[in-house]
Amino acid sequence: MSDPLLSVRDFSVRYETAAPVDAVRDVSLTVHRGEVLGLAGESGCGKTTLAYGVQRLLKPPAVIPGGSVTWHDADGTDTDLLALGTDAMMAFRWDKISMVFQGAMSALNPVATVGAQLADVFEVHRPAMSRRARTAAVVELLEIVKVGGARIKSYPHELSGGMRQRIMIAMALALRPQLVVMDEPTTALDVLVQREILREITSLREAFGFSVVFITHDLPLLLEISDRIAVMRAGQIVEIDTAEQIWFRPQHEYTRTLLSSFPRLTAERKVAR
């Protein structure tokens, strides 16, 4: 296994409501440099809360009662992400770690062109860039994700669901981060577009060398694209292993239940009575 990139230890998230909810409980995992780590589990198990919490994107009433999140940079320095100040954390996000949010249409600003939204990343994180350089960088990104530079003045509603998702991927890759967190990036897309997006993610990862945390409830999909898979249930990681081990030798009963919940083409056909 390659060098660690992100280490999460005994990490918890609690929603301080009238009846407090421990959405993430004592989670420990490591993302290695260059790998695809799948995070699987049913809806509501805490996958997205974990991803948001690690990046400190959660707002009250969410609190982080315990744990540590350590970033291991390529230059050998370690950074405690939970100890960073607000400004330092804002600078860290998108530069070192970025996210493809679930639901591209709701994540994109409907009254701004996609070009303007991509340019915002450079304005905030690369303020010294000239306007011409920003425009050139945006066009390059649109070409990289196969949307095409001609779409720079398009609004989100003028694009298909697949193209909007590609815009979100372009935004996440703008500053060439070392880690990209993808939260259900193929949800609400038809099967053919899903395949196109997955092929594009694989191609971009091979080209730029970033690591991926891929969040989904679709375990068979993760078996296809992941190096390792962490299975989450009720706020905890119940099993983490290579995709091969998860498929052929799952250790936890919940993992076996997830695997058996998906129909197989070669399975015996059963007729309900």
DSSP string, 123-134: HHH-TTS-HHHH
| Residue 270 confidence (pLDDT) | 61
**pLDDT 10s digits, 89-115:** 999 999 999 999 987 778 899 999 999
Model confidence at 266, in pLDDT bands (50, 70, 90)?
A: low
Catalogue the long-range contacts made by 250-259 (C-beta closer than 8 Å, 24 or more residues apart).
255/231, 258/40, 258/41, 258/42, 258/219, 258/231, 259/219
Residue 103 phi/psi, 5-degree rounding, is: 80, 80
| Residue 272 confidence (pLDDT) | 53
Model confidence at 195, in pLDDT bands (50, 70, 90)?
A: confident
* Helix locations, the chain, DSSP H: 47-54, 86-92, 104-107, 114-125, 131-144, 161-173, 191-208, 219-225, 243-248, 253-260
And the tokens for 144? 């990289």
The pTM is what?
0.91
**Closest C-alpha to 215, from 229, 235, 203, 236:** 229
**DSSP strand pairing (62-72 vs 78-80):** antiparallel
Read off the DSSP letter of residue 93: B
CA distance 148 to 194: 19
In order of their start, the domains of the chain are: 1-66+179-262 (3.40.50.300), 97-176 (no CATH)
Q: Residue 15 belongs to what H/E stretch?
A: strand 4-15
| Residue 102 confidence (pLDDT) | 84
**pLDDT 10s digits, 19-31:** 999 999 999 999 9
**pLDDT 10s digits, 223-242:** 999 999 999 999 999 999 99
| Res. 188: pLDDT tops 60 | yes
**Closest C-alpha to 93, from 11, 171, 3, 2:** 171
**Closest C-alpha to 262, from 223, 211, 206, 214:** 223
CA distance 14 to 167: 32
And the tokens for 109? 């600003």
What's the mean pLDDT when you consider all of the chain? 92
And the tokens for 168? 């979100």
Find all residues with CB under 8 Å of 127, minimum gap 6, and list them: none
Location of structure tokens 């068979």:
220
